[in-house]
Structure 1
């Protein structure tokens, strides 16, 4: 074991522990989580694959440049000690999710036996499993399902697309998604029942489109899918139940992401403790010095993307700090134009949260228009994250399974175009039936 790898793994573990402490009254000093994670990334930088390293470095450089320009050109107030905090909560969640590998014994990680579910049924199982469980557990479900599929061999493009679309389409309706949390903040008087009435059918259309399109484009007869059998669902369903217990009963003040961050490591520890403290500490130590440094690709991409988002949003806020509004009235044509602009910007590399936040800052919405805005924001998030090379799902697939985010974008262009047509029709229907 290379010493700097062990040190980096310890820093990543420390970042996770510090993040969990922020959920309690024992809050660590400000920005310490980000410093630990960035220092670990610096130690592992030379080991990151060249393509990933170039992309991460470019993101960080652009973000830092935009922060400097925002202060120099627009006198923006920059919290320089805190510029490394972007996406640290997401990285901490990813680190927490990695402890799935510590649950149970090592023999549980062997390749599954028996014949896998393949073909269109297998693809439907993958999409449906990720969609239903991901609507609660968010990004962690992709790793649960993806790692199980990977036991039979490297993930193929159809499997990766199923994971991508199954999760991203849940943003259309799930009340537990980060997108819904952002939208509820920006449009507090939206009507969720209306969102569900339009968003859920669109999500189901996404599933049918995915299965049909991938069945035509790829030979799926030998492509394993995720089986919705009780055995394969035991882990994710159990975790979903625990998350709901904490969210609604034990820790209602914490977000789903925060609960996942501490709950999965806690379950991992609890599953190992019956074999003794020495066994448990050895498993955690092994995980810290081997698995956590191996996450360098995911961690670097998310941290640098967070710095880019912070720089871009700060620059845009500083440059557009005026009293004018983008539209005198936010109607269906304005909604469709806004949706298209956010999706196109996502395909160009901007996370949809940037477009949604910028749009909200330039609108003066009355209560009657907030539901339409909320639908536009959620739909653009769902379609934009599927196709956007810098979205959380595509960065995760690149870091975890080695697929190029740009390739995922190209593979999803046709899907995004079809979903765009359906969303535009839904916007017109929403206004017509209003």
Structure 2
């Protein structure tokens, strides 16, 4: 079953990549995504299965209701189930093969500067390899003892802020799929600036958390070997998007990620490069079954909502998608996360609700990325907090309460970031 699942995911990556030149290949990717979701329902745990079935059930019920109320049926829409997002997510996982997992530099930095360096290292890794960065840095910080709450807070904040700007995160891919046409350069510049500000503001709280132990803190080393792949990939994605604006960012990220991985493996591993890729596809891709099943199920929900909601004249208190509306969207996504709703679900619901306002794509995607990132840090049952709880014994509720300081910093800084975004587009 796991081998079949790995074949489906590999097929999705291939089909999404081919859709750059052969647009109809995306339909094949959509069919493979539905097949992967069906197999994933068997492989995931009970809680994930219930959530996925609920999302699929609501999505299919929405399709049926839409047809009953005179909605138009388009078979192609039923095959638009986040396949680009899933293809990108699975392809980016291959980057773990070429990014070092152990710091290879030694430094005498201690105290506040070591905290800042650890935050930057976590952020740089998290921007590219996603949640795998938390395990890499967390295992190093833990050493032979338990991970401290201060380090857990540092990890969540530094990692989650990458969602504000990184094209390698599912946040940007999901939002771009729902509202295409965003300016990736504006998203990167404004989102990165917000991430730096948010991390900087929240570090003062981290310093306070360490108390008298702060001067002896050494943290995680930041080296050129660690950041060169992220920097190269970001430059490659931005350049490619400017040269080929009609190609969606998730597809560019997929191709860029696989290309860099293959080149890196050929340089470092020579003839073993293809074997390393095959081994990752067979053994590591199935480990993403939870995220893939959730995103595919949310895609079915989004299809149903896109068919159903336009048939009703839902009264909205606003007539256009302005900066205050975008900020309120961030807040609503955070509130959903606190009660256990995954951002991929909340952003799909919000997108369907604001669709009649014809939101500016760049403003919408930035708000979605901010909401997704901060929700990841403060949601008590997000993948990030559950990982920290299961792997390091960190209490999710305690960590959520501690990260409310970070939430406040992001909400304050998000307003001028949205204003800047609106002025640039």
User: Scaled by the length of structure 2, what TM-score is found?
Assistant: 0.71
Superposition CA RMSD, Å: 4.9
Find 1:386's aligned residue among 349, 356, 374.
374
- Provide the C-alpha distance between the structure 1 equivalents of 2:261 and 2:414, rounded to a whole number of angstroms: 41
Deviation at 1:265, TM superposition (A): 1.9
Provide, for residues 273-319 of structure 1, a one-character-per-residue CA deviation record: whole Å limited to 9, x for no partner.
46999634432332222111222122112212222233334332232
Residue 224 of structure 2 corresponds to 230
SS in 1 for 2:350: helix
Q: Please identify, of 84-93 and 352-361, the stretch whose mean Cα deviation from structure 2 is larger.
A: 352-361
Match in the other structure for 2:80? 85
SS of residue matched to 1:31: helix
- Residue 7 of structure 1: how far off its partner (Å): 2.0
Give the Cα separation in 2 of the matches to 1:224 and 1:58.
45
Residue aligning to 2:275: 282
| CA offsets 1:220-275 (integer angstroms, 9 cap, x no match) | 869875543222212222323333443345x4543332122022222333344469
- Taking the aligned partners of 2:6 and 2:172, their CA distance within structure 1 comes to 29
- Structure 1 residue ranges without an equivalent (≥5): none
Partner of residue 21, structure 1: 18
Is the aligned partner of 1:36 residue 2:32? yes
Distance 1:412 1:209 in 2: 12
Is 1:304 the counterpart of 2:297 in the alignment? Answer: yes
Equivalent residue, structure 1, for 2:117: 125
What residue in structure 1 maps to residue 6 of structure 2?
Answer: 9
Please give the residue correspondences for 1:197-236 in structure 2 after superposition, counting only pairs within 5 Å.
202-217=194-209, 225=219, 227-236=221-230
**Distance in 1 between residues matched to 2:9 and 2:276, nearest whole Å:** 16
- Compared CA separation, residues 411 and 31, structure 1 to 2 (3 A): farther
Q: Secondary structure at the match of 1:70?
A: helix
Q: 1:359 to 1:28 in 2, by over 3 A?
A: closer
> Per-residue displacement from partner, 1:188-246 (whole Å, max 9, x unpaired)?
9xxx69x978x776544311232223344468869875543222212222323333443
> CA offsets, 1:2-45, max 9 Å, x none?
xx2222212211111111110114x4555221222332343343
**Which residue, 92, 95, 117 being the options, matches 1:97?**
92
Is residue 82–residue 296 contact of structure 2 (8 Å, CA) maintained in 1? yes
1:248 to 1:401, Cα distance in 2 relative to 1, 3 A: farther
Is the Cα contact below 8 Å between 1:387 and 1:412 reproduced in 2? no
Q: Aligned partners of 1:114 and 1:269: how far apart in 2?
A: 29
C-alpha spacing 1:228/1:144, structure 2 compared with 1 (3 Å): farther
Question: Which consecutive unaligned segments of at least 5 residues does structure 2 have?
Answer: none
Q: For the structure 1 residues 128 and 146, does the alpha-carbon distance in structure 2 shift closer, same or farther, using more than 3 Å as the test?
A: same
Q: Is the Cα contact below 8 Å between 2:123 and 2:161 reproduced in 1?
A: yes
Cα distance in 1 for partners of 2:365, 2:327 equals 11
Alpha-carbon distance in 2 for matches of 1:118, 1:314: 56
Offset from partner CA, 1:85-110 (integer Å, 9 cap, x none): 32211111111112123448xxx667
Counterpart of 1:58 in structure 2 is: 54
Aligned counterparts of 2:60 and 2:138: Cα–Cα separation in 1: 37
Give, in whole Å, the separation in 1 of the partners of 2:384 and 2:30.
Answer: 19
Separation (CA, whole Å) in 1 of partners of 2:294 and 2:201 = 30
Aligned pair count? 400
Q: Which residue, out of 307, 313, 321, partners 1:314? A: 307
Deviation per CA, 1:53-111: give whole Å up to 9, x if none. Answer: 33333322232233323333x3222435643532211111111112123448xxx6678
Question: Is residue 2:415 matched to residue 1:420?
Answer: no
